[in-house]
Amino acid sequence: MHIDPPKHGLHSLREFLKEYVMLVVGILTALGLEHAVTHHNHVKSAQLARQQIEAELRVNLEEVNASQASNLKRRKPLQELAEAVVREIKSGASKQTINEHVQAKLHGGFSVSTSLPTLRHEAWDVAVANQSATYIPDEALRRYSAAYATQRDSMAVASQGALANFGGPRLIDVLTDLELKRVEPVDLLRVLCQLLSSLNSTQSNLKEIQIQLEASLKEEAGVQPAKGH
């Protein structure tokens, strides 16, 4: 902001007051214009931040849904195998018979992995760092903040839960027995229950993230309500 001083001497009080008023008006006008420009820039920055955040959350939601679908596919054969082993154990089938049936179902092995999404948060981090988040409307800001907090917390729980329910040494033993075609049915059943518990825990946490992401994008077209898995 630049204000030019009078270029000539003031010869009366009236001239002084006139120049003073003009100076004050000029300063106020300049300040008003500066404020208007700054506010406009902040609004544009906040709009851009919202677009980037919503785009990022939509991608994250797609990844969460994809991981849930993948885990459902992995869970189905494990669940079916566990139920079959339970039936045969209860029916009194011999270990050899159970091994033959297990080998026929598995063809030598089964998947023990769990699908977890890679949830991005760069857009939110940038909005916070450059303070553009400050100018996002409060209601939208609360939704975004809740979405990213749920992502962070639920993914941490999902990762820890998967490890907690995962019996590494026991699993390796059972996989080795499967390879040698001499698996102990009860040991196999225990491992299957651990794997199913791990998958169910992961799915529960992914569902929580899904619900929160959908809520954060509720004003966006095309976001469908959560469905049970």
pLDDT value for 176: 82
Residues near 208 by Cβ (< 8 Å), separated by ≥ 6? Answer: 150, 154
Q: Identify which of 171, 201, 200, 168 has the alpha carbon closest to the alpha carbon of residue 188.
A: 171
For residue 225, pLDDT over 60 is answered with no
- pLDDT at residue number 221: 46
Question: 98 lies in a domain?
Answer: yes
Interatomic CA distance for residues 101 and 86, integer angstroms: 12
Please report the pLDDT score of residue 169 as a whole number. Answer: 76
On whether residue 228 sits in a domain, the answer given is: no
Has residue 229 been placed in a domain?
A: no
pLDDT at res. 155: 86
Q: Which two tokens stand for residue 65?
A: 């849904």
Query: What pLDDT is stored for residue 229 in this prediction?
Result: 43
Q: Does any domain span residue 6? A: no
pLDDT digits (tens, 9 = 90+) for 163-221: 555 566 777 888 788 878 888 999 989 989 988 988 898 999 999 999 999 998 876 54
| Cα distance between residue 104 and residue 88, in whole Å | 14
What does the pLDDT look like over 61-100, one tens digit per residue?
999 999 999 999 989 988 999 999 999 999 999 988 988 8
**195 in a structural domain:** yes
SS3 33: helix
Structural domain contains residue 35: yes
The per-residue DSSP string of 119-173 comes to ---HHHHHHHHTTGGGGS-HHHHHHHHHHHHHHHHHHHHHHHHHHHT--HHHHHH
Residues constituting the chain: 229
- pLDDT-based confidence at residue 227 (cuts at 50, 70, 90): very low
How large is the average pLDDT for residues 124-145? 89
pLDDT at 36 (0 to 100): 52
Write out the residue range of the structural domain in which residue 207 sits.
13-110+118-216
CA separation for the pair 7, 97 (Å, rounded)? 108
Q: Does the residue 227 lie in any domain?
A: no
User: Count of domains in the chain?
Assistant: 1
Quote the pTM value: 0.73
Let me know if residue 226 belongs to a domain: no
**Residue 223 confidence (pLDDT):** 41
